[in-house]
Amino acid sequence: AQTVTQSQPEMSVQEAETVTLSCTYDTSENNYYLFWYKQPPSRQMILVIRQEAYKQQNATENRFSVNFQKAAKSFSLKISDSQLGDTAMYFCAFMRVGLGNKLVFGAGTILRVKS
């Protein structure tokens, strides 16, 4: 079974600064996707960024980028120029391709952006 570990229960960052959220996962599969989801106080889940395991290049979406280390099974999220609206719970998630494409979520990291 796949597991996803987020070792930082809470983090805080000053507005405009950069923060990195950590995630490690455990799998014996070779074909999978990794995701970061954001859940703001509204509780609506929002996809932040996606990484396909077969791609060596790290995914980037505007201020959000990942550091994907496949051999180390590490998948961290970097948020640059943090904004107040980034305050949310962030979940790292794993999806094995095939067999229902189910998501396995980490425990989450609460990120607070301070002004």
Partner 1 sequence: GAVVSQHPSRVICKSGTSVKIECRSLDFQATTMFWYRQFPKQSLMLMATSNEGSKATYEQGVEKDKFLINHASLTLSTLTVTSAHPEDSSFYICSARLAGGWEQYFGPGTRLTVT
**33 contributes a contact to partner 1 by CB under 8 A:** yes
**34 contributes a contact to partner 1 by CB under 8 A:** no
Element (H, E) at 66: strand 64-69
Among 51, 77, 106, 113, binds partner 1 (CB under 8 A): 106
Burial of 84 (0-12, 13-18, 19+ CB in 10 A): exposed
Structure tokens at 2: 């796949």
**Least distance (Å) between residue 4 CB and partner 1:** 9
Q: Which residues bind partner 1 (CB under 8 A)?
A: 33, 42-47, 89, 91, 95, 97, 100-108, 110
